[in-house]
Structure 1
Amino acid sequence: MDQGLVALLSAGVGLVGAIGGAAIGGLAAARGARIGAETAARATVKQVRDQADIDHDHWLRGQRLDACRAFFVAYDEYGLAASNMTRAVERGIAGSEELVGQEFGRSMTNFRNAFFQVRLVAPAAVRERALQLATGVEDHYDSVRNILAMDGSAMAAAQAEEERLRYELGGIWNALMEAVTDSVARRPMTE
């Protein structure tokens, strides 16, 4: 064989090898780039989801705190209005019962509205305690309103019942405060 032909054949084989190697290398590089891009995309999606979960937890915690604050304020307002109402009845101040009664009714409406906010966002333990408090406040509200319709010995019995209910509310309030404190202190939020 002629040296020129051998060189030409060698060059052709080298060319085919180079093209084949480049093609295989290009395919491997493309596959590696695709795998790298998919891995980066999955990592980005996971990071975005994790950040969304964290943001949602912060938002929910804020909503819970706001709802509990509003509930506490409404409970305090109710307690003040209830005290004013019972004092007006005890003192028998003519005409003041109607004005104080309107304030008492408004405070109860505000308390109910605040309770509904807690029901929407609070964790189960807080909702349960808030429901107990709301039920106790409803009973107390009815008790105070019953006092208005009574006189004499029936009024004394109704006032004793109101005082008993008021004392019960204190215990329920303390249990609610513990549940809220536990809920706020828990991290990460599990409910």
Structure 2
Amino acid sequence: MDQGIAALIAGLAGAAGGLGGAVVGGLAAVRGARTTADSVRQQVQDQASAEHQHWLRGQRQQAYASYIGVVAAFIAECELTFFCSEADQMGRMVKVQEAREAFFTPLAMVRLVGPDEARSGAQSVLVASTQLLSAMESRTEDTADPDKPVAVVELAREMGKAQGQLLDALRTVLTDPPSGSE
């Protein structure tokens, strides 16, 4: 073989090797870029999820605090009315009714931000407050019936139980890590 052909073969082999190396290097670069892009996409999704959970927790805290506040105000008005004189009871009942009506906006927020444990607890408090309000109105209309105060006291206990269960549920929601199903 003469030197020209050997140089040509060596040149072709070098070009083929260089081209093959470039192809392999390019494929490796594309694969690395895809892996990096997948990692960045997952990181962005994880960060967005964490930020959403943080935002939702803040919304829940506000909704729960508002609802707890109106429930406490209702209970306070009921106590004041129960222990006031008969002459003042009719006038005080207006305040009890207003305190009960104040439930609905915070209740709507609790229903909106959930989860089910909070919704259920808030609904139980609403039902108990409705029963207590009804008993208080009945007592105010008929003060001669000795069973009316007993019924009010019993329903006030039920209201207290419902409030305690609500607080336990809200505490659990706010302290347990999110399950991802919310």
Structure 2 match to 1:157: 147
Q: How many corresponding residue pairs?
A: 181
Check whether the contact 1:78–1:107 (CA below 8 A) recurs between aligned residues: yes
Structure 1 match to 2:130: 138
Query: Which structure 2 segments of 5+ residues have no match?
Result: none
In structure 2, distance between residues paired with 1:25 and 1:110: 75
Give structure 1 regions of 4+ aligned residues with deviation exceeding 4 angstroms: none
Q: Shift of residue 105 of structure 1?
A: 2.6
Structure 2 match to 1:24: 20
Match of 1:92 among 64, 87, 91: 87
Match of 1:47 among 32, 35, 43: 43
Counterparts of 1:37-186 in structure 2, within 5 Å, are 37-88=33-84, 90-93=85-88, 97-98=90-91, 100-153=92-145, 156-186=146-176
RMSD over aligned Cα atoms: 2.0
Q: Shift of residue 43 of structure 1?
A: 0.2
Check whether the contact 1:57–1:189 (CA below 8 A) recurs between aligned residues: no
Query: Which structure 1 segments of 5+ residues have no match?
Result: none
In structure 2, distance between residues paired with 1:189 and 1:60: 13
Highest CA radius of gyration, 1 or 2?
Answer: 1
In structure 2, distance between residues paired with 1:65 and 1:19: 68
> What percent identity do the matched residue pairs reach?
21
Q: 1:134-185, CA deviations, whole angstroms, 9 ceiling, x for partnerless residues?
A: 11011111222223332422xx333221111001111222222222222222
TM-score (structure 1 length as normaliser): 0.84
